[in-house]
């Protein structure tokens, strides 16, 4: 890395121009895939989708330095950009959306976006929110007992922090100083419930103090700020100093799911205002300011990503459905 690059914001984090290009591509892939999935829903081909638009910076920023094959990932349903960073392909995402046999998460049996992938170290998620939090603490406890250099990272929304599971997981992690990072993607709503009706505090991060470890607040629309916070938390976990809670302040730009009508609980002006802080636009602005992106390159990249997604949709749509004879697989010890 040149001296000039080392002096930039990304250079000081150890990120090269190539890293930034790859991060931007992942964020764009998540956004364009999200939009394509919603279109598939409106066409009647995808029964249910969960958009992640608006969360791309905090998802890519907090997952980018996770070590593949070493660290363990516990994402929640909105974490499309996290699983893309982990190595899940757009085709695999659509295999889940279309409930196909090859879907890595559940072989087409779970709802879409209930991510899981043995190959990538992504632990299967359940529908009840925050259940992944005690799982993360348990996995980190096992890694500590075995003396393994593994960092476990667990992502969740602000609403999840009201659940007992969340508090139990954080408490256990704090007591045992576990190598785990907790990431709250605070988008200000738990479906229709605004943060003000969910908790009497402004920052979820302050809850970490009650469990004996640091909690930090970060601009969740700034991918480099999220990366920096994760770098510190990941290093801390590897040094054996215990967990960190990172609260990324962000916003969900689309409804909660394809079944939700967000016009009933939030003003159009509020959503419009949030669009001015769109994390992809903000990162593109940074790249342009560094001379790393211009209109032509951006258009070419968007076209390439769109083509990749279109190909993934076609290939996943044509993939075989699960064999009805396997309906009870993994559900009962004996065939009912
Ligand atoms: C234990 C439990 N209670 C309620 C629900 C219904 N539910 C699904 S998602 C959700 C909102 C969660 O909000 P948050 O954690 O802030 O994440 P976001 O969807 O905003 O990203 C709720 C209440 C559930 N799945 N599990």
In order of start, what are the domains of the chain with their CATH numbers? 7-38+50-257+267-319 (3.40.50.970)
Q: Which element (helix H / strand E) includes 74?
A: strand 72-74
> 1 pLDDT band (50/70/90 cuts)?
confident
pLDDT value of position 183: 98
Q: Which of 78, 191, 265 for a ligand 1 pocket mutation test, highest count of atoms within 8 Å of Cβ?
A: 191
Q: How far is the CA of 218 from the centre of ligand 1 (A)?
A: 22
Q: Distance between CA 127 and CA 257 in Å, rounded?
A: 14
Lowest mean pLDDT among 26-30, 245-249, 286-290, 330-334: 330-334
> 310 pLDDT band (50/70/90 cuts)?
very high
Q: Distance between CA 294 and CA 125 in Å, rounded?
A: 39
Q: Distance between CA 111 and CA 113 in Å, rounded?
A: 6
Q: How far is the CA of 155 from the centre of ligand 1 (A)?
A: 13
- Taking all residues of the chain, what is their mean pLDDT, rounded to a whole number? 96
> 298 pLDDT band (50/70/90 cuts)?
very high
Average pLDDT of the segment spanning 240-254: 98
Q: Is 17 helix (H, G, I), strand (E, B) or coil?
A: helix
**Sequence-distant (≥ 6) Cβ neighbours of residue 232 within 8 angstroms:** 216, 244
Pick 90 or 329 by higher pLDDT.
Answer: 90
> 77 pLDDT band (50/70/90 cuts)?
very high
Nearest alpha carbon, ligand 1 atom 18: 157
pLDDT value of position 270: 97
Nearest alpha carbon, ligand 1 atom 25: 128
Q: How far is the CA of 53 from the centre of ligand 1 (A)?
A: 17
Q: Distance between CA 38 and CA 46 in Å, rounded?
A: 8
């Amino acid at each position: 890395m040149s001296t000039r690059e080392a002096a930039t914001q990304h250079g000081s984090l150890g990120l090269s121009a190539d890293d930034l290009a790859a991060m931007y591509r992942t964020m764009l892939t998540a956004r364009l895939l999200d939009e394509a999935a919603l279109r598939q829903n409106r066409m009647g081909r995808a029964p249910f989708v969960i958009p992640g638009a608006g969360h791309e910076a905090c998802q890519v920023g907090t997952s980018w330095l996770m070590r593949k094959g070493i660290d363990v990932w516990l994402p929640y349903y909105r974490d499309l950009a996290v699983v893309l960073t982990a190595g899940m392909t757009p085709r695999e995402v659509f295999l889940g959306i279309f409930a196909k046999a090859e879907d890595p998460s559940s072989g087409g049996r779970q709802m879409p976006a209930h991510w899981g992938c043995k190959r990538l170290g992504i632990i299967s998620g359940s529908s009840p929110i925050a259940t992944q939090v005690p799982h993360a603490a348990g996995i980190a406890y096992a890694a500590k007992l075995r003396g393994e250099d593994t960092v476990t990272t667990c992502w969740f929304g602000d609403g999840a922090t009201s659940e007992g599971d969340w508090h139990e997981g954080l408490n256990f992690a704090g007591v045992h100083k576990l190598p785990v990072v907790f990431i709250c993607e605070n988008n200000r709503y738990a479906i229709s419930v605004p943060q003000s009706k969910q908790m009497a505090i402004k920052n979820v991060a302050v809850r970490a103090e009650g469990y004996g470890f640091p909690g930090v607040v970060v601009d969740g629309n700034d991918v480099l700020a999220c990366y920096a916070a994760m770098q510190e938390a990941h290093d801390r976990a590897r040094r054996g100093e215990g967990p960190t809670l990172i609260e990324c302040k962000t916003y969900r730009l689309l409804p909660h799911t394809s079944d939700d009508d967000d016009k009933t609980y939030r003003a159009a002006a509020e959503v419009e205002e949030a669009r001015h802080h769109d994390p992809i636009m903000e990162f593109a602005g940074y790249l342009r300011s560094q001379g790393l992106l211009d209109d032509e390159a951006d258009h070419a990249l968007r076209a390439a990503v769109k083509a990749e997604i279109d190909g993934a949709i076609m290939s996943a749509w044509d993939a075989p459905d699960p064999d009805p004879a396997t309906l009870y697989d993994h559900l009962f010890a004996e065939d009912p």
